[in-house]
Structure 1
Amino acid sequence: MNVIECKNLQKEFEGDGTTTVAVNNVNLSFHKGEFTAVIGTSGSGKSTLLSLIGTLDKPSKGKITYDNEEILKKGKNKIADFRFQEIGFIFQQFHLLPTLTALENVLTPLFSRKVPYDKVERAKEVLKQVGLLDKMNALPSQLSGGQQQRVAIARAIVHKPSWLLADEPTGNLDTETGAKIYDLLKELNEQVGCGVLFVTHDPVLAAKANRIITMKDGNVLSDKVGATI
């Protein structure tokens, strides 16, 4: 999948008799290979936008196309298949299963899927890629926060997605560890060629991206390519 397009995209939430517009008439295009930071304060709509792009939620209005196809109009199974084939997710909370080893956690996206490669060898390959092959038998409780996030990144790329969607992946980490995680994502972007959408409230990290989208109150305030904030 090479191009994602958001056209007049809107997401509204109903509650207590009021309507909250989380994403407001957004028009954006993303091309495979880009490293894009989406920045804004809490409540700006950046995480909602990421959920919509990642097919975890559906828009109230407008549409998203993936290589000119509207995946979200298809059934749940088709959407799930598309998500597995094309999207890798990384979150602020690591969401590792506490009773599984690092290797087993990385394998979880592949458990019920048929793939044309050895699943265990692929999991070991990505753990090596993130520098944690020596920790493959460790439980999450035996790993630092930065190491747990590296396991989560390995899990996100084990199925060879076209896009990595990272929602505040450094939010639970100290500044130095967060910078290393960001650098790892940048390295994966450059080496593997997957597109990266990186949601953050940190202008220092965002300034390292190739493209910076700034959001406020659900609106896109600016979209800068090759520029710093």
Structure 2
Amino acid sequence: MSTNIECIDVGKSYLGDGIKTNAVKNINLKFTKGEFISIVGPSGSGKSTLLSLLGTLDFPTSGKILYDGEEIVKKSKKTISDFRFEHIGFIFQQFHLLPTLTALENVLSPLFARKVSYNKIERAKEVLAQVGLSDKANSLPSQLSGGQQQRIAIARAIVHKPDWLLADEPTGNLDSETGDTIFELIQQLNQQEGCGVFFVTHDPKLATKANRTITMKDGIVISDKTGERIC
């Protein structure tokens, strides 16, 4: 179980054509499993970069991120991969469903190469029911609406019961009514499963429904929950 995440002076920079770009810098934050955190800010403010760092999809170029006191990214690639599988679920703006697989098979896809202690098919059916799509188990993505596809993507993200759910603009490609429904589903998962949620969004209405709101600008966290300037 991963209960706490701590960012200590975290920075991420990229070098292109001899120019250094600081995507995020001087990030000092602590998170506890069970929190529902919205991350807001204009395009290019570093929201998605921060999410990638928290999810171990990318590594800081300065500072460190600790998971229950451990710096996971300093470990072997296999250890990092295993940690990500065990503890982190991802939901993206693009659904990233495999077009030739059924809904059930898409949900199963993270488990294909993994040994687990439970029945994979039964678990996949369980999360399909959790997102209200048991009747779509044999449907292909092309036979589903955008909202249904995002529900399948959410089921895939939670199939291994992650401690942290990282959602990058999950309502960005949906109409407002469907987006509200998806948000409510993620909120329900947070409350029922106790997973921590990072919810990146441009929708201020949804952001205010989170328990905690982090605002970013130019790669820096400028406020945390109360709007009080911290950097």
**TM-score range relative to shorter protein:** over 0.9
Q: What is the percentage of aligned positions where both structures have the same residue? A: 72
Distance 1:176 1:222 in 2: 28
- TM-score, reference length from structure 2: 0.97
What secondary structure is seen at the aligned counterpart in 2 of 1:155?
helix
Which residue pairs with 2:139 in the alignment?
138
1:1-229 equivalences under 5 Å are 1-224=2-225
AA partner of residue 31 (structure 2)? F
Number of equivalences:
227
Gaps of 5+ in 1: none
Cα distance in 2, alignment partners of residues 169 and 41 from structure 1: 16
Contact 1:11 1:23 in 2 (8 A): yes
Query: Which amino acid is the alignment partner of residue 51 of structure 1?
Result: S
What displacement does 1:75 show? 1.1
* Superimposed CA distance per residue, residues 159-180 of structure 1 (whole angstroms, 9 cap, x where no aligned partner): 1110000000001001110110
Listed as ranges, the gaps of 5+ residues in structure 2 are none
How big is each residue's C-alpha offset from its partner over 1:83-119, in whole Å with a ceiling of 9 and x where there is no partner? 0000000000000000000000000011111111100
CA distance in 2, matches of 1:132, 1:156: 15
CA distance in structure 1 between the partners assigned to 2:50 and 2:227 by the alignment: 22
Q: Is the 8 A contact 1:211 1:226 kept in 2?
A: no
